[in-house]
Amino acid sequence: MMTTLNAIDTRHIWHPFTQHATARPNIPIIRGEGEWLFDAEGKRLLDLISSWWVTIHGHAHPAIAEAIYTQARQLEQVIFAGFTHEPALRLAEKLASLLPAPLQRVFFTDNGSTAVEVALKMAYQYWYNRGEHTRTRFIAFEGAYHGDTFGAMAVGRSSGFYGPFEPLLFDVLTLPYPATWEGDPDVAQKEADALEALRMLLEQYPEGIAGLICEPLLQGSSGMRICRPEFLKLVVDTVRDHQVLVIFDEVMTGFGRTGSLFAMEQVGRTPDVVCLAKGLTGGFLPLAVTVCQDEIYEAFLSQSFDKALVHGHSYTANPLGCAAACASLALFESGQPMESVHRIASLHRQQMPQLKESVEGLVAPRIQGTVAAFNLFSPKTTYTDNLGKKIERAALAEGLLLRPLGNCIYMLPPYCTASDALTEAYATLPGIIRNALSS
Ligand SMILES: *Cc1c(COP(=O)(O)O)cnc(C)c1O
């Protein structure tokens, strides 16, 4: 069966983020259960990347599967302009109750990139509708990743992923990002430099900046780079002194990933707009939301349609996605998922020192909630060699699904991952890295 599937895949499929000329054949996955994926030959893989950071309660969780089935028998989809439905309302009300009180107004989309597009449009048009036409610029951090649609690429342009499209991307003001790790002696200086750069931008463009966007506490794609919450708090306070709107892209950090239900809780500041996707449905269906404070929503109210937010998708607030998200959030009510988050975080903290001892070249170890990461040889994440790909292959041979970001190796497991399985992964890792380095 594996060969048939591979033949079709090779003939017809164009995979994401893949250089097909050099990529290994894609592995057909037949089934998932908890933290495990099973391939066509029945071989199991420990999903240490939560299937691109989305799976939180585990694969094929029966409660979420059941909720989707029940909803599908009732109402699978309905146009969301002029109509509404209970799963969306239940979800919106639930999210508003979980997020800090000022975040009340929910706009639905269907992936993280579009949630970011909506946030950017909300912030931009907020000023436009108020007649403040000079506030047209956005500030983003160096290394930020916000998705692959054009607005999201523009605010993530410094990630360096978008070379061919550079001329098409709107200008963005970029701030240095004070990435840090355990035992980093320079963190205070890096933060002071970033804040100074921020103050200069605010001075240079008085009343010229619409909003600042960031991934709170943890930049994902640029190499699991963490920053200190105190720093972000100062950033928020500084831009707010200049009326700049604050957008938190919690597409990856939301729903427990960083150790609290939302990263903003650790930052101690509430953004004007927040984007949520990935873990929203527990990793079952594509659904996203952009949640804003009422003041932003109110700037779009008018007798004229011109002031409306003219944005929507065919599957806006798809009832199946909403039902899955409600079921996922219901699972949090038992307290169990967050307990698992803390269990995994402490296991990372317990294992990392030993790993550092056993892996030559391990630098910049860092842990943020359920995410543990380190770099090989240089704290700067680079994609120039294919070390990451070699490690990925060596890990697969050991039954571990890893997907290093260049020389940054990270583990980001579903919360249900058994302590034994994760401990074993830690024990296997030094050998995997040795094999990759010598191959
Ligand atoms: C993954 C990601 C996105 C994009 O989400 P998609 O659903 O892949 O479009 C945006 N922002 C952050 C921080 C992400 O990690």
pLDDT in tens, 320-333: 999 999 999 999 99
Regarding the beta carbon of 248 and ligand 1, being less than 6 Å apart is answered no
User: Cβ of 3: how many Cβ atoms within 10 Å?
Assistant: 9
- Quote the tokens at residue 436: 């990759």
Residue spans of alpha helices (H) in 39-111: 50-53, 62-74, 86-98
Looking at residue 157, the DSSP 8-state letter turns out to be G
pLDDT tens digits for 413-427?
Answer: 999 999 999 999 999
Angle at 249 between CA 346 and CA 410, to 5 degrees: 40
Please report which confidence band the pLDDT of residue 3 belongs to, taking 50, 70 and 90 as the band edges. Answer: confident
Helix (H) or strand (E) holding 275: strand 273-276
- The whole-angstrom separation of Cα 377 and Cα 436 is 14
pLDDT tens per residue, range 330-384: 999 999 999 999 999 999 999 999 999 999 999 999 999 999 999 999 998 887 6
Which is the closest atom of ligand 1 to the Cα of 215?
13
- Shortest-distance Cα residue to atom 11 of ligand 1: 146
> Do 310 and 119 contact (CB within 8 A), yes or no?
no
Question: pLDDT at position 384, please?
Answer: 66
Residue 147 beta carbon below 6 angstroms from any ligand 1 atom: yes
Question: How do residues 183-229 score in pLDDT, each as one tens digit?
Answer: 999 999 999 999 999 999 999 999 999 999 999 999 999 999 999 99
191: Cβ below 6 Å to ligand 1?
no
pLDDT at 163: 87
Three-class secondary structure of residue 409 per DSSP: strand
Of 407, 53, 41, the closest CA to residue 251 belongs to 53
The answer to whether residue 268 scores a pLDDT higher than 70 is: yes
Instruction: Report CA(276)–ligand 1 centroid distance (Å).
Output: 9
Q: How confident is the model at residue 160 (pLDDT cuts 50, 70, 90)?
A: confident
The encoded tokens of residue 357 equal 């001892």
Distance of alpha carbon 172 from alpha carbon 155, whole angstroms: 6
Residue whose tokens read 């048939």: 4
Share of the chain above pLDDT 70, in %: 99
Where do we find the tokens 């921020």?
198
Report pLDDT for 362: 97
The rounded percent of the chain whose pLDDT value lies above 90 is: 94
CB of 252 closer than 6 angstroms to any ligand 1 atom: yes
Q: How many CB atoms lie within 10 A of CB 350?
A: 12
Q: Residue 39: phi, psi to the nearest 5?
A: -85, 180
Characterize 251-282 residue by residue with b for buried, 16 or more Cβ atoms within 10 angstroms of its Cβ, and e for exposed.
bbbbbbbbbbbbbbbbbebbbbbbbbbbbbbb
Q: Is the CB of 113 under 6 A from ligand 1?
A: yes
Token pair of 181 as six digits: 């790790």
User: Is there an atom of ligand 1 within 6 Å of 283 CB?
Assistant: no
* pLDDT on residue 11: 94
Residue 156 and residue 17: Cα distance in Å, rounded? 16
Exposed/middle/buried for residue 59 (C-beta within 10 Å: 0-12, 13-18, 19+): buried
Confidence of residue 391 (pLDDT cuts 50, 70, 90): very high
- Ligand 1, atom 5, lies closest to the CA of 112
Indicate the Cα dihedral angle 157, 161, 166, 171, nearest 10°: 0
3-state SS assignment for residue 359: coil
Query: How many CA atoms does the CB half-sphere of 180 hold within 13 Å?
Result: 20
**Best mutation site among 251, 253, 289, 368 for ligand 1 pocket (most ligand atoms within 8 Å of CB):** 251
424/431 Cα distance (integer angstroms): 12
Residue with tokens 């998708």: 313
pLDDT for 162 equals: 85
Cα dihedral: 229, 234, 236, 241 (round 10) = 170
Query: Which atom of ligand 1 lies closest to the CA of 52?
Result: 1
Q: What is the mean pLDDT of residues 266-278?
A: 98
381/21: higher pLDDT: 21
Mean pLDDT for 169-179 is: 97
Predicted confidence at residue 127, as pLDDT, reads 98
**Is 390 within 8 Å of 366 (Cβ atoms)?**
no
What are the φ and ψ backbone dihedral angles of 265, each rounded to 5 degrees? -65, -40
Tell me the pLDDT tens digit for each residue of 284-317: 999 999 999 999 999 999 999 999 999 999 999 9
Answer yes or no: is pLDDT of 63 > 90. Answer: yes
Structure tokens at 224: 């699991």
pTM of the full structure: 0.97
**Residue 224's closest CA among 116, 145, 115?**
145
Distance CA 155, CA 158 (A): 8
Averaged pLDDT score across all residues of the chain: 96
Q: What is the pLDDT of residue 158?
A: 84
From residue 8, how far is each of 13, 28, 431 by CA, in Å? Answer: 8, 11, 34
Residue 22 in this model has a pLDDT that exceeds 80: yes
* Residues belonging to the chain: 439
Q: Is 51 helix (H, G, I), strand (E, B) or coil?
A: helix
The encoded tokens of residue 278 equal 């990935």
Sign of CA dihedral 75, 297, 327, 282: positive
Determine the straight-line distance between the first and last CA of the chain, rounded to whole angstroms.
Answer: 30
